[in-house]
Each structure stands twice: as structure tokens, then as C-alpha cells.
Chains A and B, each alone.
Chain A
Amino acid sequence: MMMPAEKSDNLFCSLAGLVDERKTSTTVDSDPSKQAVKISVRNLNFFYGHHQALFDNTIDLFANQVTAIIGPSGCGKSTHIRTYNRIFELYRNQKAQGQILLDGEDVLSPEMNLIDLRKRVGMIFQKPSPFPMTIFENVAYGLRLHYRIGRNELADRVEMALKRSALWDEVQDKLDRPGTELSGGQQQRLCIARAIAVEPEVLLMDEPSSAIDPVATAKIEDLIEALKEKYTIVLVTHNMQQAARVSDYTAFFYNGSIVEFGRTEQIFKKPAMKQTEDYITGRFG
């Protein structure tokens, strides 16, 4: 585990002094020797046609940490992380402006190769979406696509991915059954196995447990805890308890802006902003 040794208050920045500025800066003052920045977002704006959905989002995400993104529905949480792998480009009229640096490389630049980018930045969606293939093929598909790989090693890696996503015990006897036959929670873990099999660096999770039952949710939360050792995880959730349980950092979104960002316990125990406090205590949203 790579938890920071000290959990000092200087890790979050109070925004109290910044509210008067037009642009709310939300970077966290951190000690760079301890916290490597994996993704650095600067002044990200997002548009659905003429409608602006994100306003000047600026945030740093640390390597091997779980960052939770919370906020009322429709506040731009999903929109925000859908820019990290440029999946929004599937649709017409969706446009992102600004800078997203993944290890210093600009994700939004036209030179960025989408296939490379998406190999490095995996994503789990709200609705489990196994491919219409067998369980084995679901995991092997991406591996075969990205790597030249022998049959034995392929089998090993599929097994490893399924183990890491805590699904192996449940599916090892039925690897040749269609992935769609699994339960919702199992399907979601299959999707996680599929995503981590190709060895991404970042894992984006867009409300991964909103469509599945509580027991499966608990499993996925344990999984997130275990996975952060290898990956940088961004978790969008509307469930504040979940954010509090699994994340190291939390960003609170409201109306397309990042209102507050800081260490999770600070956000939940003594939020700096009134809006954050209102949301966390359930006064709105």
C-alpha cells in the first residue's frame, strides 16, 4: 500500500480565499516527492452543442490513489471523466477545451493516438456491458488486441485478471459460457477484469455499482481498495458513503464546476465550502 505517511491538513486547500476569483482553482498543495501527479487537468471546458457542461475544471489526480468525484446528478461528474479517454468523441456536437495531461502528455491534442490513450486509461461504465462472447473471450479480447501473446500466457493472464477482479472462483468452471449469462454484479466484475487485463495505468469508474445489488457493491468496493496498488483510480459516485469508504481524495462537483477538492476525510469532516457541506449533510442533491 502506498498511503502517504502523514495526513496533514496542508494536503487540502481551503477555497475560502479563492471564492472571489472568477476561476476557482482546486489543485491540492501536495508534497511532490510523496505524491506523483498522474493526471493534471487545466481549465477544462466542455460543451454539448452550445450548452456548456463543464466550467474551467482544474484538478490534479495522484498516482495510485482513489479519487472520488461526487455531486448531485447532472453536475458534470461523468462528463468530466469521459474526457480523460475522449470517449465523448463518439457523439456529435460534444467538444472539450482545455488541457488534460496524462504523465505530461496532452490527452486532448490531435496528435494523441486514441487507441494508445485508451489502452492506458481503462473505463468501467455504470451499466455492466459484457461483450457478446464467452467469459474467457471477454477478458482475452483486449489482451489479444493489444499484445502479441501465446496461448498459454493468454490463459494465465485471463486467469490473473479474473482473480484480481475477485471473479475467478465464481467463473472458473464456466469460462466458455457467454458473459451475458452472469448476474449483474458478476458482469460488472467481468468488465473490470476485461479493463485491467490490458494493464492500463488509470482506471475510470463511472458509477460502477449504481446498477447492482449491495453484496456485489461491497465486493467491488473491496476490489477498488485492492486495485489502487497498481492503478490510479477515478471513481464517479452519487453515493457519498461509498466515496467516504473507498477514496483517498474527493472532488465535489456542482453545476459543472469543481467546488472543492481535498483529502476525503477533510471533505467529509470539515468541508471548506458551504455548498459542499450542504450536499454532504443532505440538505440538497
Chain B
Amino acid sequence: MKPRSNWTRRSINFMVMAVSTLSSFIGIAVLVWVLYEIIYRGIGAFNWDFFTKLPTPPGVEGGGLANAILGTVVITALATLIGVPIGLFAGVFLAEFGLRSKLSGPVRFVSNILMGTPSIIIGVFVYAMLVVTVRHFSGYAGAVALAIIMIPLVARTTEDMLNLVPDTLRESALALGVPRWKTTLDIVFKAAKKGLLTGSLLAVARVSGETAPLLFTALNSPYWPGWLNKPTGNLTVTIYNYAMSPYTDWQQMAWGASLLITLGVLFLTLCARFLLQEKK
């Protein structure tokens, strides 16, 4: 038996390591490039007007995206109000009652399907449900679309987080004569509080940057959101419309909106991560 030359082995190792380090740096560099461009091009759009004024027609100085900022916040908030509780309780069902129910298998399966469904399909669905029927686009249709995206995300993290709560805690509450619903809401929830908050925050972060589900539901508008019963301005669709427009001042606005939405999403994500780390 002839031993393999150490030199060959080591040089193969060196080459592979070099290639992988190099590709890592290329990959990471490109990702840094994306962030750099967003910040570099977006920061110029930030001024007082950007945050406080309504949009102006192309060429007119001094407009802002105040309505779209507010619209995104309001639509996301409404989506959270709808999506988080439903997702939370669906997760409670899977974690707390799922073991004894035939329903949990199908629910988990369908939840995964929904998580993998493209967000534009959700937009099309809500269009058919809530836009066609009332014959106009609306902010609340947008909120419902975002909520549908949140539900499976929240349900999944809720189930995972509740499963981390030791059964002994449930047993000792039930053994004390605490009813099941109070055991879950008072004791199990309290024990899993940070995890649940993290999951919800991540879901909010995820949908607040979504564009596709809003294209055919909330649409966009240059006016204040009002009661969300008509097309509602929002940052992401504004980015889409302005970026596709031929006007440089609108494109500039789109960069500003991109930076703002990126900062918002990253902020929420960082909050969620810190919450989770604090737990350990």
C-alpha cells in the first residue's frame, strides 16, 4: 500500500480553503455593496420635508413621503392586530392541545404550505376576496394580506417556544387546580414571554418590508391614509412606483424610502435578536 503524499493532500486542502475563503469574501462583499448603495443613495433624500410633507408631482420641489410612512405603519399595525392573535392561538392549539388532536397534523402541514406560498399569491387572493367584492382597493385589504403572511410565521414560533416550556410547569399549575386556559395564558405564556415577543417581532419585521401583497390590495395613494377604506399610500409600493418612473427626483425619493424601510426592518430584527439573547 502506497501512502498518499502529504504534499498533495495539503495542497488540495489549501486550495479548497483558499477558494472557500475567497468566495465567502466575494459573497459578503456583494451583500455589503447592496447595503452601502442603499445608505449612500438614500441618505441624501432624508430631510425634514421627507418625513412631514405629502408627495409632490415630479419636478415640483419639496415633497415628502409622510403619508406613505404613516400608511406603512398603520397597515402593518392593523396586520399585527389581526395576524398575531390568530397565529398565537393557532400555535397554542398545536403546542398545548395538538398532541391529543387529529387536527394538528393537517394544520402543521397547511401552515408550512402557507409559509412557502409566494406573497404575491396572497395579494391575488385578498384582491379576489376583499377588493373585487367591494369594488375598490383599500388599506385594510392590504393589512389582511400582510396578516395572512404573519399567521403561519407566528403560529410556528409560538408552537416552538411553548414546546420549550417544561411540562412540569404545566403539570404543577394544573395540579394546583388552575384551569387549562389560565395555565396557558398566565403561566405558560409568562414563561415563554420573550420567545413569543421575539417571534411576533420577527413576523412584523418580515411583513413591514413586503411589497407584492400590497400591489393589488392597498395599492398606493398620494394622500393621507384616512380610515384605510380607500387606496392607501405605503412605502414599499411607493418605492416600486417611483423607481420605475423616469423622474430623477422621484427615484431619489425611492432611495430614501428604501433606506428608511431597510432601517426599520433591521431595527425590528435587531430588537428581536437582543430579546432572545437576553434570555440566555
Binding site for B on A (CB under 8 A): 85, 87, 90-92, 114-119, 121-123, 125-127, 129, 131-133, 141-142, 145-146, 191, 194-195, 198, 204
Contacts and interface: CB of A to CB of B under 8 A. Distances in A.
B187 interface: yes
Contacts of A191: 172
Contact of A125 (B172, B177, B186, B187): B172
Per DSSP, chain B at the interface is helix
B18 interface: no
Nearest to A82: B171
Nearest to A117: B177
Interface of B: 99-100, 166-179, 182, 186-187, 190-191, 193
13 contacts: A87-B175, A115-B178, A118-B176, A129-B166, A129-B168, A129-B171, A129-B172, A131-B187, A132-B191, A141-B176, A142-B176, A195-B176, A204-B175
Contact of B178 (A123, A133, A142): A142
A122 B175 contact: yes
A118 B177 contact: yes
B227 to A, nearest CB: 40
B168 A122 contact: no
A145 B175 contact: no
A204 B187 CA distance: 21
Given A87-B175, A125-B168, A125-B171, 13 more contacts: A90-B167, A90-B174, A114-B177, A115-B178, A117-B177, A118-B176, A119-B176, A127-B168, A131-B187, A131-B190, A132-B187, A141-B178, A142-B177
A140 to B, nearest CB: 12
A132 B190 contact: yes
B103 to A, nearest CB: 13
Contact of B172 (A117, A123, A133): A123
Contacts of B193: 132
A114 B183 CA distance: 14
Contacts of A125: 168, 171-172, 175
A90 to B, nearest CB: 6
A114 B178 CA distance: 9
Contacts of A118: 174-177
B175 A127 contact: no
Nearest to B170: A90
A195 B178 CA distance: 11
B169 to A, nearest CB: 5
A145 B172 CA distance: 14
Nearest to A204: B175
A126 B101 CA distance: 28
B175 A92 contact: no
A132 B193 CA distance: 10
Contacts of A115: 177-179
A180 to B, nearest CB: 9
A55 to B, nearest CB: 24
A129 B177 contact: no
